[in-house]
C-alpha cells in the first residue's frame, strides 16, 4: 500500500505532471519556496519598511527577465526566451543583442 512507501522513493516514481517532477514533489517545492520567500526580509518584494525597494525600483526589477540578466552578464550569443523551458518551436532562441539594449537602470538604486 502507499503507507509502505518511503516519501522520497515514492516521489521519484511519480509520473511528471508539468515539467519533470510529479505532483507531490512539485507541491513540496512550492511550499518550500513560499516559506523561503516570506521568511526572507531581504527578498526583493517584501513589505519591510526599512529594507523595501520603492515602486520605481520594483517596476524595473519586475521588467527584467532572467534571459536579459544572463545575456547582459555573460558572453552568451543567444538564450531561450524563457530560460526555464527547453528550446522548442514555442520557446525559440533569442539573440542576446536584443536584450543588451534593455539594461536595468541602476541609477534608480543610487541612494
Where do the structural domains in the chain lie, given as residue ranges?
A: 1-39, 54-111
More confident of the two residues 32 and 1: 32
- Per the prediction, the chain carries an average pLDDT of 87
Can you name the residues that pair with 80 across neighbouring β-strands?
Answer: 93
pLDDT in tens, 20-47: 889 999 999 999 999 998 888 778 777 7
Residue 63: all three cell numbers together: 521588467
What is the rounded distance in angstroms from the CA atom of residue 103 to the CA atom of residue 108? 12
pTM of the model: 0.61
Give the span between the Cα atoms of 106 and 61, in whole angstroms.
10
Cα separation, 97 vs 74, whole angstroms? 12
CA nearest neighbour of 52 among 107, 109, 102, 12: 109
Percent of the chain residues past pLDDT 90, beyond the cut: 41
Amino acid at each position: 500500500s502507499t503507507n509502505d512507501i518511503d516519501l522520497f522513493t515514492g516521489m521519484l516514481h511519480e509520473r511528471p505532471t508539468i515539467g519533470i517532477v510529479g505532483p507531490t514533489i512539485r507541491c513540496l517545492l512550492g511550499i518550500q519556496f513560499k516559506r523561503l520567500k516570506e521568511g526572507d526580509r531581504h527578498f526583493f518584494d517584501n513589505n519591510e519598511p526599512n529594507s523595501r525597494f520603492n515602486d520605481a525600483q520594483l517596476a524595473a526589477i519586475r521588467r527584467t527577465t532572467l534571459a536579459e540578466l544572463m545575456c547582459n552578464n555573460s558572453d552568451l550569443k543567444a538564450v531561450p526566451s524563457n530560460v526555464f523551458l527547453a528550446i522548442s518551436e514555442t520557446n525559440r532562441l533569442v539573440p542576446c543583442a536584443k536584450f543588451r539594449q534593455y539594461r536595468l537602470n541602476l541609477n534608480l538604486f543610487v541612494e
